Structure 1
Amino acid sequence: MTSTLPHGQCQCGAVRFRLNGEPIETYVCHCRECQKQSSSAFGISVIVQGGDLQLLQGSPKQWARRTDTGGMLDCYFCPECGSRLWHIGNDNPDRVSVKGGTLDTAPDLSEVAHIWTIRRLDGVIIPDGVPTYKKEPPR
């Protein structure tokens, strides 16, 4: 990320937000839930402190789902276009996982960690030398 604090929005622009602090870390997640949620091979999770996420416009809807590790995850999305915006785990509500595709400036993925690689789709190439985790990374 650049030193300019990132802004983001859903696909239709009804929900807008700003990150008032630098990201803690960024992951490329290969779990089945991220594949389903993104309708793609993986999801991008930009982790920020909960207090750093500032809603600027709109009112996201929320639903909860169980995670592979047994916790609960609150999932926020645009009520107009359905774009997933961010997730907050009930076990650590001070950390927010912002969906990387919602940011106005896309995150640089060249050196980020890849998680849940046990579920990586055949043909997806992970760069040499980046951290990889078969499941969740240690905290």
Structure 2
Amino acid sequence: MTETISHIVLFKYRPSITWADFESHFETFMALRTRCVHPTTGKPLMLSMKAGKNRSWEPFSKGMTHGFVLDFANQEDLDYYLTRDPGHLAFSKAAGPLIEDSVVVDIRDGILFGPAAPRPLAANEYKGSCHCGQMEWTAKLDTAEHVLCHCDTCKRLGGGPYSCNQIIPKEDLRIFRGVPKVYVYTGASGKNVNCYYCGNCTSHVYHHQDAMPDKVIVRTLLLDGGDAMPATGEIFAEGRLGWVRDLQDGLKGQPNGTM
């Protein structure tokens, strides 16, 4: 059975789109056929590409006006194209304002049953999960690092000397499993801080401050690989406990399982 995957994309363009914008968009899309190459082999990621305007007389198009069919040799090549290829990522960002709606379907010829392909992580994207596993999410970090917060609220919420965080754009956090509960308190700014956490195990996923409506504060230690990220900064340093900076391996450890 062939592994070839057909990536089928249908677009409904905005009524306000100009012919010049459409022509540029279409030419850029078609150029991806040769521009998008494998990072190791240098060969084109696509096996073939077809495109055209909908010409069906049946009333089932749902408003989609144009279709594109991109064939890839395997799931790995398609995943790289979707999440990491710089040419495609730039095209997608530029195309957003031109498109009112879209439909995307990936098929393998002859495969009629089975699960969908797992979603790959994009560049600088990390998967996170709570303690019980009922919540999972991804977060994009420009740099894999922790910023320590020594405020009294973080100490009380987490029961530790500080929390590990990073402030990221709101759209760079994606929760794909579970629905968090929320606890609201008044922050140092005098505005509300919304703390989103797993309702079962109480792991804090992220905070959203009314003072920063376009940003969220993610708990970086809950991300895969978080234990290997360095701490590169801190806030509310005046609240740092006196022994934190001096804490080293000299503390007497407890055997695993005694806590």
Q: Distance in 2 between matches of 1:103 and 1:72?
A: 25
Q: Mapping of 1:1-139 within 5 angstroms?
A: 3-19=123-139, 21-23=140-142, 26-106=146-226, 108-110=229-231, 112-125=232-245
Per the alignment, in what secondary structure is the counterpart of residue 194 of structure 2? Answer: strand
Higher helix content, 1 or 2: 2
User: What is the one-letter code of the residue matched to 2:154?
Assistant: C
Q: Which has the higher contact order (CA 8 A, sep 6+)?
A: 1
Larger radius of gyration: 2
Alignment RMSD (CA, Å): 1.8
How far apart in 2 are the matches of 1:61 and 1:120? 29
- The AA in structure 2 aligned to 1:36 is R
Aligned equivalents of 2:142, 2:126: Cα separation in 1? 9
- TM-score, with length taken from structure 2: 0.44
Indicate if the aligned counterparts of 1:23 and 1:47 stay in contact, CA closer than 8 A.
no
Taking a change above 3 Å as real, the CA distance of residues 100 and 22 of structure 1, as seen in their structure-2 partners, is closer
Look up the equivalent residue of 1:90 and give its one-letter code.
D
Equivalent residue pairs, number:
122
Spell out, residue by residue over 1:30-68, the C-alpha distance to the aligned partner (whole angstroms, 9 max, x if none).
111111122111011121110011111001011210112
- TM-superposed CA distance for 1:22, in Å, is 2.6
Residues 189 and 211 in structure 2, CA contact (< 8 A), matched pair in contact too: no
* Structure 2 gaps, min length 5: 1-122, 247-259
The corresponding residue for 2:116 is: none
Any conservation in 1 of the 2:155–2:162 contact (CA below 8 Å)?
yes
Structure 1 letter corresponding to 2:141: E
Aligned partners of 2:146, 2:203: CA distance in 1, in Å?
19
Following the alignment from structure 1 to structure 2, what is the Cα–Cα distance between the partners of residues 123 and 35?
15
Distance 1:23 1:4 in 2: 6
1:66-123 deviation digits (Å, cap 9, x = unpaired): 112312101000011111110000111211101122112116234x111111111111
**Uncovered stretches (5+) of structure 1, i.e. residues with no partner:** 127-139
Aligned 8 A contact 2:128 2:138 in 1:
yes
Same amino acid, percent of matched pairs: 26
Q: Confirm or deny: 8 A CA contact 2:196 2:204 kept in the other structure.
A: yes
| SS of match in other structure, 2:185 | strand
- Provide runs of 4+ in structure 1 moved above 6 Å: none
| Structure 1 counterpart of 2:245, one-letter code | I
- Give SS of 1:6's match: strand
Give the aligned partner of residue 112 of structure 2.
none
